[in-house]
Each structure stands twice: as C-alpha cells, then as structure tokens.
Amino acid sequence: MVEVFKGTTTVGVLCDGGVVLASESRATMGNFIASSTAKKIYQIDDLVGLTTAGAVGDAQSLVRMVQVEARLYKMQRGEPLTVKAITTMLSNVLSSRRYYPFMVQLIMGGVDRYGPRIYSLDALGGQIEERKVVSTGSGSPIAYGVLESQYKPGLSIKEGTVLAARAIHNAMKRDSASGDKIELVRITDKYEEVDGPEFQEIMNLL
C-alpha cells in the first residue's frame, strides 16, 4: 500500500469585491506529520486561486494541468477564462476518473467580469457555487462552526481575511491533521498573499 500525504483544513470566504482563501500547512501520513510546510493554495490564473485538500500528489497534478490550460486559453483567445469555466474544466477532469478518482476536495475562487466567485469541487467532479463560505478537509467541521456563526452579508475583504484566518486557527486547535502555519490569499483586482506586518496584525486578533 502506498502512503499518501493528506489531512487539511482549507477555507474560502466570499466578500464584497473579492475572495479570501486560507489554509494551514500540515501534511500527514496516518499519525505521522510528514510536512509542516505543505503548500495548499495555488494561483491558477491572474485572479483565480485553488485550495487543495486530500492526496498531495493528486492535487499537484491537477494544479499543473489547470494552470497550463488557463494560460493556453488566454494566449489563444486574448482573454482569461472565467472562474466558472476553469471550475467546469477541472470538474470534467475529475469526473472522467470514476474508477480511480483523484482523492481531493478543492475550492476554486477568484474574480472575473461577473464579480467574485467561489466553487467547491468533490473527488467525482461535483461542483457547487458557494454563496458565502466553504471549507474542506479534515478540520472543516470546526472551521464551519466559526464561519457560519461570524459571517455576515457585505463582509469587507479585510473582515473576510480575519474571519478566514480565525476559522483555520480554530481548526488547528482541535484537528490533529491541521497545524503549523496559516496561509492567506486575497483576490480582488490583484492576487495577493498576505504576509509581513499585516499578517502579524491579523494573528494578534485571533
């Protein structure tokens, strides 16, 4: 039996004018912490990001594929794919592997000409457009407790960043497969990884 890295909490928050994606950085093999620096948020296009939960190898192969397809489309057509189009393309790939599915849960989030969008995808290609918040991975029940209780319509991008960080922070307290470092990405009119003094300021609020 081949061991795979897994165990995750990822979060997506739909905000006024943008999207926040968040994750922690622990990867596990059973009870063993295989990595404390696992990357779980990837930039797919200029204003589109993807969070990954599940088997790391499966997730990384899907990320590489969808990044290439998004770039190729933009080169050929002179405009980017919409968030929904990228999600549908990835859904088609997932659904084509019914007998040996990719063992992943994914969140696709970004901003296009229709505004901010977030979609969740399961291992068999099911896709759902989320209207406010979404979480995946082993720590998602804990994260949802924070997200559902504290989300409010019209949430600003700054408030959404704090909420996403708080959801991950609480999941890390109770889910042994989630831990180490919090990663935050904001997508508005730019794709931005939150770090430095602002990141520390957010951590102080948790």
Q: Does residue 196 form part of some domain?
A: yes
For residue 7, pLDDT over 80 is answered with: no
For residue 3, pLDDT over 50 is answered with: no
Q: What is the pLDDT, as a whole number, of residue 158?
A: 96
Residues serving a catalytic function are 8
Q: Does residue 1 form part of some domain?
A: no
For residue 171, pLDDT over 80 is answered with: yes
Q: Say which CATH number the domain at 189 has.
A: 3.60.20.10
Number of structural domains (the chain) is 1
Average of pLDDT values for 136-160? Answer: 96
Domain coverage including residue 174: 9-205
User: Rounded distance, CA 19 to CA 45, Å?
Assistant: 14
Q: Does residue 4 form part of some domain?
A: no
Which pLDDT tens digit goes with each residue over 34-59?
889 999 999 999 999 999 999 999 99
Q: What is the pLDDT, as a whole number, of residue 34?
A: 85
Q: Does residue 2 form part of some domain?
A: no
Range with lowest mean pLDDT among 6-20, 103-117, 159-173: 6-20
Q: What is the mean pLDDT of the chain?
A: 94
Q: Does residue 3 form part of some domain?
A: no
Helix (H) or strand (E) holding 91: helix 83-95
